[in-house]
Structure 1
């Protein structure tokens, strides 16, 4: 792009470009005038007092609480009343595992809170419970997820009435602790490539579960090393044929396999269990490895919702192909991704709460002969934490929306909604967990040396959360699923197909987004325009539409010489950027909707401020993309940057109120540096001072 293309309303652009170069050279030759305090500094000091929003904390807190907050408080209050169930800092692995088991049993039997009963019938309540127990101890949250969502959920979602009748009560009251044995040593994300086999024996009416090689050992299986008594094992279903030398591979199915004796807890014959050992985090979860040597199970142990085998070895299914059966099976297991996205927002809330409260408490340096100032008054600290606080709010509303859509899907079983939730859960799980993982390190750094103390929790939060980027689908793989779905929707648009709910904007406005940018609006730089939700959402969607159009063209071009797989790999980084851009558009749309629906005026104003910061910070972070296609002129880019910095400052002014609206009890944050009163006394007492 030539310099003349970026100039504004010039009749002689080449002359203007020369003049501009001369002006720049003159700056190097002319001495700078003596430094004078910027008028903007005085304006900001005044703004701090005059322009601070008045936030009704109670109203904002009520809007953020959600309808299941009382259920969460019941969980939190129960654990507060039981010091014997609280996890000490630095607890050894073996003790941590046993404590987690005691915690889950106490939750169900003493507190009378039964998460399993909500897994299918009211997922929103289930996710509220898992968020609450995860705030008590992340390992406990994961163990609850393994028991009720993965092991229990596989029985409910992949099995039929006979399985529900036989196993429901035992899973519900934790008499039947179980595992979800999908991942293998050599295969994780590529589930269709799993090598464990389940061969039907028509003589005995049994399936024979085998691990054919070391690469097929089930690995990282939660609940397997110590506590599990059953496992849902994913294996290739093999049927004999009339030709004794051939068999039929019906694809991956799920089977219930007992792994330990119900009473003696002894490992059952043919099953070898090893402990995966100490991990970076989540050491309260007993991950193990399972190898099967001709383990026989009854034919009824096949979870047969999508495919069944008769007594005489005939296979039947309502779905005609292996791929359709596989897609249906995985479609029923997206609840894990929904839960991880939802829980990751909880991590972000806690870490941002600790970092912001400490930044408001800690004072350092200041003008000569004047009191020290809060470190959150420094622009650099605001730049670290305020966009993160804005993102936390954005993710909160996006995760709520995801849970609502998932709950609706479980009630209606609408095919279009199933596909929509599958892609949406993949995208939000990937985007939110990746962002949170980076933010945990940033929060630690923002708290300096005190962020390094284990008692202030950043280390354990970071280590426990890190695996969220990997399990229930590696984030890079999940983003590719989103990109693939976008390309499918793009193709369907031009073939007259129906677009799913999440991608509606492609149907409604894609031609507008792909047209040449308006040279007039590209220069608009007023605050009202930049804070207009329509401008913000249009900018996000324009970027996504351009990325989608260009990657589709690149794939067509490269597939002619490299084939479809080679073309995909050649464009992979482009595809990942497309997926992230789309998910950012979805998050912003949900945030804008949440702002508009807020009934309290002061809360709505605060949310609008935070939403604007989220949107403009994202636009500024990718300003090169908008500049390259002349969507944003240089003066507008500069205005976006200045307004983003000012919004950071304005959000800082109400940061305490915004944090308080998360309504996180101090028994959950637990970090001494995040205490709202007597923080230093708590901290000094922890290390031994009286």
Structure 2
């Protein structure tokens, strides 16, 4: 009997060890070790951990890593290799705000001018490759990833998506090559999420054929504007377009929020231009490589052609024209073209989660604590309590990775087809994924830090920087609470659409569609399908999760009932 018990325990332990080895190999696929800016000693420690894998594990890791990075793995490898070969461009642990800002700008310049990466060209031709570059840059330094996003997703994206051919011809190459560093001036001191309430004005002067950009009060100061404090030479300024004498009774007419290109610094001397006041937002909790500033405009004049006029234009004689009939429709179209920034935040947040989980799992594999008497101590990762901390985050990293890849594919389809249904899907998916993933990552970074004990508190191990730099991801490109409310509103709208017509047949059709999966379960053939399409069906997966959850809940209730009956 004892022999059988020993045999069972040994077999069970072998099975458990094999399963853990598979999980450990999976953790190594999440991030190329070359992307981590760690010391030589730490890099050697990570390699030591790999030696515990069975033979062939390294090949399996490389194969899965290549699959995960997809068709743009060479692009990401190129970014990692470039920075690994340049110690002068690697971010040290202890760095002042001023030094970090200058280093971050040098990193971006080197990536574009020396490594030959052309982010705006990639964004225009293949958004998936552009987001792969952004993730890789964030793996080097999150500040670099964000500064790249400000330059290309926001400043560059606003020009190519809200402007027309004349703007692309004039600015595209300069933005792409970083000759025209720029800003995205939307947020104001008193208004962030409520973009329609922005107060900055752009009043058309028909005499000089110019717009006059003005900050009417302190609350209208453009605030937290990336690239503004030091490096930006242009800004896309979101302002209320005012047409004099065209309102009721000859009053000025407010045509709603429009975007304007405003030069803010001299291209040669970098001196601030007349009528523009720039202040530094100062040291932040994180992302101190990004120079956030405040912009105030004192009746700054710009040419009429600097209006980004894809959705609305003003003629030489001051007449307003638009293919969209209302202010609300123009506003929705304008913001809709800027959804790429939100997609990039979700994608980048997954990259940060990968970094955090990779560090935590590798540490858990190497760290040994306690063990049987007179036996070597065992890996922390062998403890079930530690697995319960890390394995859900490891699994989520994979799930989020493929979810954001799917989102990027939809975004690419949207840019190619301009299909209204795809546009609506991208808006809702980007809002929901951005809110959920960034909130999950923020919590997970803290769990990863705790999982590494005291060593996780050392700055060199990156958790402090990861946590602080990522924290703002929950706020910019849409406050997470507001985004989730938008998703909920859209779901309720879709639910309402199901019942349009109000007839009994409409209600029955909805119930039939909703209950189709459940009604098919008693069918012994359907219940035993093992085909790929069936197993990948989200309805089947959701139902399987529901049944599993119900079974666990009922079993716990039965256990409690038995306990009460026997005590």
* Residues 102 and 424 (structure 1), Cα distance of their counterparts in 2 relative to 1, 3 Å cut: same
* Separation of aligned partners in 1, 2:154 and 2:121: 14
* Residues 510 and 383 (structure 1), Cα distance of their counterparts in 2 relative to 1, 3 Å cut: farther
Question: Following TM superposition, by how much is the alpha carbon of 1:480 offset from its aligned partner in structure 2, in angstroms?
Answer: 1.1
Question: Following TM superposition, by how much is the alpha carbon of 1:635 offset from its aligned partner in structure 2, in angstroms?
Answer: 2.4
Q: Which of 80, 94, 118 is matched with 1:114 structurally?
A: 118
Task: State the match for 2:555 in structure 1.
Answer: 635
State the SS of the aligned residue for 2:279: strand
* Residues 40 and 337 (structure 1), Cα distance of their counterparts in 2 relative to 1, 3 Å cut: farther
* Residues 90 and 496 (structure 1), Cα distance of their counterparts in 2 relative to 1, 3 Å cut: farther
Question: Following TM superposition, by how much is the alpha carbon of 1:76 offset from its aligned partner in structure 2, in angstroms?
Answer: 1.4
Residue segments in structure 2 that go unaligned for 5+ positions in a row: 23-53, 560-567
* Separation of aligned partners in 1, 2:260 and 2:77: 37
Matches within 5 A, 1:250-261: 250-261=255-266
Task: State the match for 1:369 in structure 2.
Answer: 374
For the 8 Å contact 2:534–2:540, the answer to whether it is kept is: no
* Separation of aligned partners in 1, 2:146 and 2:174: 19
State the SS of the aligned residue for 1:68: helix
Query: Is 1:381 aligned to 2:371, yes or no?
Result: no
* Residues 348 and 510 (structure 1), Cα distance of their counterparts in 2 relative to 1, 3 Å cut: farther
* Separation of aligned partners in 2, 1:485 and 1:38: 58
* Separation of aligned partners in 2, 1:423 and 1:508: 25
For the 8 Å contact 1:513–1:541, the answer to whether it is kept is: no
Question: Following TM superposition, by how much is the alpha carbon of 1:111 offset from its aligned partner in structure 2, in angstroms?
Answer: 1.2
Task: State the match for 2:491 in structure 1.
Answer: 486
* Separation of aligned partners in 1, 2:209 and 2:417: 36
State the SS of the aligned residue for 2:287: coil
* Separation of aligned partners in 2, 1:271 and 1:161: 28
Query: Is 1:426 aligned to 2:427, yes or no?
Result: no
* Residues 517 and 148 (structure 1), Cα distance of their counterparts in 2 relative to 1, 3 Å cut: closer
Q: Which has the higher contact order (CA 8 A, sep 6+)?
A: 1
State the SS of the aligned residue for 1:67: helix
Q: Which of 128, 134, 139 is matched with 1:135 structurally?
A: 139
For the 8 Å contact 1:89–1:455, the answer to whether it is kept is: yes
Task: State the match for 2:44 in structure 1.
Answer: none
* Residues 478 and 533 (structure 1), Cα distance of their counterparts in 2 relative to 1, 3 Å cut: farther
TM-score w.r.t. the length of structure 2 is: 0.83
Task: State the match for 1:160 in structure 2.
Answer: 164
TM-score w.r.t. the length of structure 1 is: 0.69
* Separation of aligned partners in 2, 1:637 and 1:105: 62
Task: State the match for 1:650 in structure 2.
Answer: none
Question: Following TM superposition, by how much is the alpha carbon of 1:495 offset from its aligned partner in structure 2, in angstroms?
Answer: 1.8
For the 8 Å contact 2:153–2:340, the answer to whether it is kept is: yes
Query: Is 1:74 aligned to 2:42, yes or no?
Result: no
Task: State the match for 1:88 in structure 2.
Answer: 92
State the SS of the aligned residue for 2:227: coil
Task: State the match for 2:283 in structure 1.
Answer: 278
Question: Following TM superposition, by how much is the alpha carbon of 1:234 offset from its aligned partner in structure 2, in angstroms?
Answer: 0.4
Query: Is 1:103 aligned to 2:71, yes or no?
Result: no
CA RMSD of aligned residues (A): 3.2
Task: State the match for 1:391 in structure 2.
Answer: 396
* Separation of aligned partners in 1, 2:528 and 2:515: 25
Q: Deviations over 1:165-221 (max 9, x none)?
A: 111121111111100000111111111111111111112111111111111111000
* Residues 40 and 343 (structure 1), Cα distance of their counterparts in 2 relative to 1, 3 Å cut: farther
Question: Following TM superposition, by how much is the alpha carbon of 1:65 offset from its aligned partner in structure 2, in angstroms?
Answer: 2.3
Query: Is 1:224 aligned to 2:228, yes or no?
Result: yes
* Separation of aligned partners in 2, 1:392 and 1:183: 31
- Tell me the number of residue pairs that the alignment of Structure 1 and Structure 2 aligns: 509
Query: Is 1:471 aligned to 2:476, yes or no?
Result: yes
* Separation of aligned partners in 2, 1:49 and 1:158: 56
* Separation of aligned partners in 2, 1:514 and 1:203: 66
* Residues 638 and 66 (structure 1), Cα distance of their counterparts in 2 relative to 1, 3 Å cut: farther
* Residues 633 and 64 (structure 1), Cα distance of their counterparts in 2 relative to 1, 3 Å cut: same
For the 8 Å contact 1:493–1:507, the answer to whether it is kept is: no
State the SS of the aligned residue for 1:318: coil
* Separation of aligned partners in 1, 2:517 and 2:384: 37
Matches within 5 A, 1:453-464: 453-464=458-469
* Residues 244 and 200 (structure 1), Cα distance of their counterparts in 2 relative to 1, 3 Å cut: farther
Question: Following TM superposition, by how much is the alpha carbon of 1:57 offset from its aligned partner in structure 2, in angstroms?
Answer: 3.1
* Residues 635 and 307 (structure 1), Cα distance of their counterparts in 2 relative to 1, 3 Å cut: same
